[in-house]
A and B are shown apart, each in its own frame.
Chain A
Amino acid sequence: MSGVDLTELLAQVRAGNRDAWGELYRQCAPAIFRFCRRVLPVHEDAEDATTEIFMKVRLKLGTYDSSRPFMAWLYKVASNHCWDTLRRRHIRQDLETGDVDTLPLEHPEPGPIERLQAERTSQEVRSGLAKLPDRARMALTLRYYAEMSYEEIAEALGVRRQFVGVLLLRARHQLREALAQSSVRAAFAGRNT
């Protein structure tokens, strides 16, 4: 999707062109749906969220600052919506920054990390991601899918910027652990059959 096309489309959408809105949706909806799928574990929730996000986008398009990348703004709207959905649905028991000290400073062996990357498929990564706590899942998605900066992630999740690194590293640890546990289970199941 080229920037020029998008700028032109946005101008037409703002002018009330329904076809342009349809085209903009066709261009952006797959990315936003994937984003929602990563963040919201339930498929129907992701579908609902995609629709609701675009309804919001249509209403809020007037507030979009065209000097900034449109997709970044779109991801921001999407992350706010999904985070609100998760917060509404679950009683959050994790504290914002209170558990910083629980992350040990260590220099792990790179071998197991690389082995895990070699052994696990993309689908398994997504399955592992779905098992993570909401905030960890959200942080990884914002960083490695939406390519948000630490500043933007901090704003989206309502945490201090300095905490984002800890959040991302802990999320990586949790994902590694989830994937390692699924390997153990798979090996155990294979031995029993």
Chain B
Amino acid sequence: MKRLSQKLWPPGIRLQMVCWYTAVFTLVLLLAGAAFYHYVENALENSVDTSLQIQAHQIAAEIVAGHDTLTIHDATGALSGLSGSQPVDGPFTVQQDTFVRLLDAQGQVVRETPDSRILQIPSQSITQALQGQPWQGTINTITGQEVQFYSQAFTVQGKPLLVLQVGQSLETLHALLHQLVVLLLMVGALALLVCAISSFLLTRRTFTPVQHLMQTAQRIKAGDLRQRVPVPAAQDEIRALAVSLNDMLDALDQTMTRQRRFVADASHELRTPVAVIRNKTSIVLLQPQKRQEYITVLHEVNTEAERLGKLISDLLALARGDEGHAPFERESVRLDVLVEATAASLQPLAEERAVQLTVHAEQPVTLMGDEARLIQVVMNLLENALRYTNAGGQVSLTVQLGPDQVQVVVQDTGIGIAPEHLPHLFGRFYQVDPARNSTERGSHGLGLSIVAWIVQAHGGTIAVTSQPGQGSCFTVTLPLIPLAPTNESR
């Protein structure tokens, strides 16, 4: 019992709809029934009044009045007990449930049907009739039954001669109305039952596709994001729901896949420096070493720790970028000065690798953007170029100003990139040569995806062309947004 009540409360949408349908239908039925009952009751009561009037006129026509005598012709047979031979105050009988009274102009009863004695007749019915106004209304018998009553005076030469009163019991009418109510209630209850059952079935029919969707969603919850819910053919709300569910699943699936790969790649990349550190320290701890040996190992550990730190910073930057939590500054940036300064800061690396680094940025170029991040773009591209160019090679950086955009071109004479790798180059942790230990070149596969992310955030594009063995060329195109004058000079 308790479980049933738990199942029913709070009511589910189907039960709610059934309840609402039934409630509305009940209200409609009640209103219609009440109106119908009222109409029938009125019509029946009117017909009783009319028949009483007709009866009164008929009786009046049968009474012939002489001086102080009444002659009654019982033509209608309604007044069988009122024949002229009988004494004026003698009893007479009429039809069952019909009352007739004859009164003289003074209001004294001349004749009446025997049952009339049980009537509680108001005096107004006589006085009003004598004044020329017919009286009609409902009166009670002493046993409490209702009787419709009609009272009218008949005049001869303007003088009221007698008052005729006719009444009819309303018992039959009430019995009829009672039967009507019972019938209405029975039909109504049946209609409500049919309505409830059919609305229950209809809602089940309506919710079948939703249940279908739900079952598929349940299966997907179990972990298989590649499943899709079936899309119905009809262009309706259910189809829209299914389509948007599938779109959501697509997006989730892609995100999850990317996330899984990212985490796998990141943990792999993080593990490498840690493994190097552990390896070096384990070896040096095997036996006592000279002081110089320790210093060498500590330097190596320091280098690895720095790499690790940079990797973690880059991971954090990309994660914040993905979340959309990386606010970009919008400041005026002198790009020509920026590339000169960035190249100057990388000159030591170029000298170390014996690569010639040249910059061509003669024209002043100003654009709106995040200066620190644009420095990062140029720095990452230059570092990459320097790393993948062997001693004696050249790296050149050129700024080309167009009418509404500016191009930063980094060209090297390095080892180049095979065509099959080009499309994936800006993906995270993409390694051109998986066999090569990334430590060898000092990069970790995140630099170019950070570059691509920053360039896109500035509304720009990045493109790459490469010839294996001859070198690569990275072209960053940034829009020049019209510049409002600022106080900052650069």
Chain A partners chain B: no
Which residues of A line the B interface, CB within 8 A? none
